[in-house]
Structure formats: structure tokens, C-alpha cells
Amino acid sequence: MTPLILITLVLLWQFVLLGYTFTLAGNAADEAVRAGTAAPPGERAAACEEAGTDKLPGAWEGNAEVTCGGSGFVTATVTLQVPVLFPGTVAFPFEVTGHAGAVEEDTGEWD
């Protein structure tokens, strides 16, 4: 019975890591697009990409890919890898993606 309980606990933990990775990807995409909409047009991509990785835990930050784009409607895509059992070690061969979009803020300061 003990091996069955251990296997169940390992599988549950892995599903927790998968869910947490989805949450991190979505939140990072939201942060990235929020920073991108508030930045001046020339600095938008850099601000967006920096904000996308700023609050990620170290185990997910290393392999994170942040892509920002759009004009008028800013979009951000954050791609993270799901760790196997222990964050920061081996990752599964598939990725989790978070998307976000927001309308560009026009404060009139950049005209």
C-alpha cells in the first residue's frame, strides 16, 4: 500500500507544479502587457519583456520566453517550462504559455 500512496503523492505534486506554472505564465503575461501599455513607444518592447520575467521565481525565470508586440493593442506571450518534481532541475519537453493583451494607454505625453 505504501508504494501506491507515494506514487499518488508524487502525481499530485506534479499536477500542483503544472497548475502553478500555468498561473505564473498568466500572471507574467499580465504584468508584461501592463508595463508595455504604460511605456513610451520606443521603450515598449524592453519594458514589456523585463516586466514579464521580473516577478517569476528563479526556477522558472531561467527558461522563460517573453514576446511582446502590437501597436494600439499591446500583446504579451510568456512561455514557461514545467519542472519535473523539483523546480530548477529537469523540465518536461512541453511548454506552458500565457497570453495577455491590453489597449495602449494614450496619455499625450509622448506626442
Encode pLDDT of 52-102 as tens digits.
888 888 888 888 889 888 777 889 999 998 888 888 777 777 889 999 998
What is the CB neighbour count within 10 angstroms for residue 49? 20
pTM of the entire predicted model? 0.82
Supply the pLDDT for residue 37: 85
Name the pairing type of β-strands 91-103 and 73-83.
antiparallel
> Does 107 have pLDDT greater than 90?
no
